[in-house]
Amino acid sequence: MVCIQLKLFRRVRPVRLFLVEAALILLLTTLSTCLRVIAAFHTGTEVDEPIYRFAAAYYLHHGFPAVRPALSEPVIPFLYHPPFALMLLGEWFRLWGSETLLTGRMLSILCSGIVLILLYLFLLRAAGRAVAIVACLLIAIDPWLIFTNQAVYLENSQMLFCVFFAWSYWFACESDSGRERERLGRYLLAGIFLGCAIIWKHIGGFLLISVLAQYLLQRRHLRGHLLLLGVALLIMACYVFAMHCWFGAIYDNATMVQIDRTFWDRYSPGLNYSPWDAVQVIYTRYYIFPITILVLVGGALLTTVCYYKYLFKKRPLTSGNTTVLTWALGGIIFAVVSSLKSPHYMVLWLIPLYVLIAIEGVPFVLRLTRPAFRQRRAVLLMRSGLICCILLLVLTNMWSFRMRFLNPFGNTLALADSYINEHIPDDSIIITQDYFGVDILPRYINIAGITRVDQIISTSASYVALYWSTTEPLPETLQTINSRCSKMATFTGFKDHVEICKLYKGTVASMLSASVHVARIVLTRRRHHQPGQNPIVLALKKIISQSPWSLFNHGDHYTSRHQHARQTRHTHHIHSGRTLHGTSWTHHMKGIATPVPTVVPVPFGPPIPTVVPVPVATPIPTLVPIPIGPLEPMVTPIPTVMVEPTSPSILIPTGS
């Protein structure tokens, strides 16, 4: 009887453990999902989200991801990132029959929930239940991770492969050295996950640093590590070869652009800034995420110190700890070395840092709260302090959540898109960023290649929509555009601003022509060594006489009495070997010649006191009497005299 009860207990115990683990996983996943769904409904559109959504929808209809091309540009595949994440998003759109941004955000939330489950199961095996619960709970309630996980970012799905790699790599490092084939099989599996993480998005290459850092600590399983790296590089080579064969030079150019952006050879707005700029941004805007900032700074210091102790044998090696440690270290090194400092990359660094803090912190806290019996007062104080710290952590994250997601910040990008579609004609041309261009009706010119105001004026665009934020400021060379356009609307969100305005094309063009005129005068005097008036003074006179500021609001078609008088006086003026014939330099610079004012003869009115040559009159026909009829002769009426003028009539030009 006793034996039967023991057998039943042994069978029931695993079932109870499974139910406990399932309940914990369900609780953590529900908490995480609810917070992210609330954030998805209260967060405005972020910069990269329209691009990814449009590219995935384009794949759904045309078979390859692409974005809406700018004016006079062809449609080309969107290959700056590997297409797999966009293809997954496109199939998600097909599944639900919807291509909205909210539908795409639900996929990101689903991926974050799966990541949380995988992390719990991995840490349950590698570090224990307490560490798994603490790490997953910290990840579930972190406000910055909530913000990133609800957005349409490729890192949310890439994190699945990162967790799979960390789990399989820990499993390989734990394998027995005596079973060569089994150990190599585990390293082979880790290499597959590593290669998939890299080709899902190239920033996954930071895991290669983690592998090298782990081998420096372990100094064993050389064949396994070579197999892991070989399989990962083989997957990358197959991907690159296939993409080159499919897309050719388009893929090669996009890949080189990404490499240049990563290693400081190409500037990327919003992605390249110094540590001092990051501190200023945190102080002015991101101060509402204090826990995230402490985890980044403190976790980086903890990672460096722990790796130093492991490297110089000051601590015993444990595969579970060192796998997570090198995972976090690889992210820190890549973040420091790379020029890309995008905020949504932080999900790749924060998750391993939280796991490392849980691995190092939970045993430390347990040791502090279990002292000897004679230190009962100390136990009470330590436990009270621990409870206060937990409450402070939870309350701080609640405050951050409220400040970021529950405050009425405007949806800047969506409001600007709606305004452009409602108030700007569809046949107009607007200069703006591509993440505006994919969702607006007017044609657009990408502002990415424009660095000066004169480049904006020289285009055919009539409107401009400028975007700037705390991490992506407006270039200094474009900050004077506000004085050369009329503001139509301004939208402000959590950290970003959008200003839509109509350009003063005619007036600014005249100012540019004046600058060209100054350059011509300077060159002429340098050649002939002739003294004269200061060219700057001449330029000012030209601006005052031709482009009065009072005419700014009249658009491109404006005329003044002074301009008309100047045109009539210099109708046949010859300037530098070029006949103007009533055309100003302004319109020559614009490539459009102003025609000579049309003249219309005066059909009626009082006689004009002007000497006119006497025309030759047609002879009056002779009167012929009618022989039949009464005696009173009837005279034929004299026809109107038709005058053939020998000189031009007096003409009056049209216009004011």
Mean pLDDT of 403-422: 89
Say if residue 246's pLDDT is above 60. yes
Q: What is the pLDDT of residue 523?
A: 55
| Residues pairing with 468 in the sheet | 497
Listing DSSP states for 578-589 in one string gives EE-TT--HHHHH
Chain mean position to CA 429: 20
Least confident of 203-207, 495-499, 530-534: 530-534
DSSP designation for 462: S
Mean pLDDT of 136-154: 94
Q: What is the pLDDT of residue 155?
A: 93
pTM of this structure: 0.74
Banded pLDDT at 604 (limits 50, 70, 90): very low
Q: How far is CA 497 from CA 41, 269, 399, 411, in A?
A: 20, 15, 24, 10
Quick one: how many helices (H) and strands (E) in the chain? 23, 9
Other CB atoms within 10 A of residue 533 CB: 9
User: 639 by DSSP, 3-state: which?
Assistant: coil
**Degrees, nearest 5: CA angle 265-268-269:** 150
Q: How far is CA 242 from CA 82, 161, 199, 236, 398, in A?
A: 12, 21, 12, 10, 47
Phi, psi torsion values for 562, nearest 5 degrees: -65, -40
75-123 per-position pLDDT tens digit: 989 998 999 999 999 999 999 999 999 999 999 999 999 999 999 999 9
DSSP designation for 404: I
Longest dimension (CA), the chain: 163
Q: What is the pLDDT of residue 655?
A: 40
| Kind plus residue range of the DSSP H or E element containing 443 | strand 443-446
Average pLDDT for the chain = 77
Distance between CA atoms of 99 and 114, rounded to whole angstroms?
22
Q: What is the pLDDT of residue 535?
A: 52
Q: How far is CA 426 from CA 67, 132, 366, 444, 571, in A?
A: 19, 55, 66, 10, 39
Most confident of 226-240, 262-276, 608-622: 226-240
Q: What is the pLDDT of residue 603?
A: 46
Beta carbons within 8 Å of 289's beta carbon, 6+ residues apart = 143, 144, 400, 404
63-72 per-position pLDDT tens digit: 999 999 998 8
CB 631 within 8 A of CB 608: no
Q: What is the pLDDT of residue 168?
A: 94
Mean pLDDT of 337-355: 86
**Degrees, nearest 5: CA angle 350-355-360:** 125
Q: What is the pLDDT of residue 440?
A: 92
Q: What is the pLDDT of residue 551?
A: 36
Least confident of 271-280, 310-319, 412-421: 271-280
User: 202 by DSSP, 3-state: which?
Assistant: helix
Banded pLDDT at 616 (limits 50, 70, 90): very low
Closest CA to 81 of 319, 262, 274: 262
Other CB atoms within 10 A of residue 508 CB: 22
* Token duo for residue 198: 């890299």
Q: What is the pLDDT of residue 595?
A: 42
Banded pLDDT at 268 (limits 50, 70, 90): low
Q: What is the pLDDT of residue 611?
A: 45
Higher pLDDT, 195 or 528: 195
Beta carbons within 8 Å of 622's beta carbon, 6+ residues apart = none
Distance between CA atoms of 621 and 598, rounded to whole angstroms?
39
Tally of CA atoms within 13 A in the half-sphere of 247 that contains its CB? 20
User: 557 by DSSP, 3-state: which?
Assistant: coil
| Kind plus residue range of the DSSP H or E element containing 286 | none
Mean pLDDT of 229-244: 95
* Token duo for residue 423: 């108030």
Distance between CA atoms of 318 and 320, rounded to whole angstroms?
6
Listing DSSP states for 105-165 in one string gives HHHHHHHHHHHHHHHHHHHHHHT-HHHHHHHHHHHHH-HHHHHHHHS--HHHHHHHHHHHH
Least confident of 88-102, 361-375, 493-507, 563-577: 563-577
Q: How far is CA 568 from CA 367, 409, 513, 610, in A?
A: 96, 57, 20, 20
CB 427 within 8 A of CB 441: no
Say if residue 322's pLDDT is above 70. yes
| Kind plus residue range of the DSSP H or E element containing 170 | helix 154-173
291-317 per-position pLDDT tens digit: 999 999 999 999 999 999 888 877 777
Banded pLDDT at 333 (limits 50, 70, 90): very high
* Token duo for residue 201: 């998005």
Distance between CA atoms of 346 and 343, rounded to whole angstroms?
6
442-461 per-position pLDDT tens digit: 999 988 878 788 888 888 88
Q: What is the pLDDT of residue 374?
A: 53
Distance between CA atoms of 246 and 242, rounded to whole angstroms?
6
CB 208 within 8 A of CB 236: no
Listing DSSP states for 335-390 in one string gives HHHSS---GGGHHHHHHHHHHHHHHHHHHHHHHHT---GGGHHHHHHHHHHHHHHH
Mean pLDDT of 347-352: 93
Distance between CA atoms of 118 and 425, rounded to whole angstroms?
51
Chain mean position to CA 164: 29
Q: What is the pLDDT of residue 368?
A: 76
Q: What is the pLDDT of residue 639?
A: 45
Say if residue 365's pLDDT is above 70. yes
Phi, psi torsion values for 613, nearest 5 degrees: -60, 140
Closest CA to 495 of 45, 40, 35: 45
Beta carbons within 8 Å of 80's beta carbon, 6+ residues apart = 254, 257, 258
Say if residue 48's pLDDT is above 60. yes
CB 335 within 8 A of CB 350: no
Banded pLDDT at 402 (limits 50, 70, 90): very high
Banded pLDDT at 598 (limits 50, 70, 90): very low
Distance between CA atoms of 495 and 492, rounded to whole angstroms?
8
CB 175 within 8 A of CB 183: yes
Q: What is the pLDDT of residue 131?
A: 93
Banded pLDDT at 638 (limits 50, 70, 90): very low
Say if residue 577's pLDDT is above 60. no
Distance between CA atoms of 233 and 201, rounded to whole angstroms?
14
Banded pLDDT at 269 (limits 50, 70, 90): low
Say if residue 631's pLDDT is above 70. no
Q: What is the pLDDT of residue 539?
A: 53
Higher pLDDT, 37 or 608: 37
Higher pLDDT, 562 or 374: 374
β-pair type (599-601, 651-653): antiparallel
Distance between CA atoms of 623 and 362, rounded to whole angstroms?
131
Say if residue 593's pLDDT is above 60. no
CB 471 within 8 A of CB 270: yes
β-pair type (599-601, 463-469): unpaired
366-387 per-position pLDDT tens digit: 887 776 545 677 777 888 888 8
The one-letter amino acid code at 415 reads: L
Closest CA to 78 of 55, 103, 46: 55
Say if residue 61's pLDDT is above 80. yes
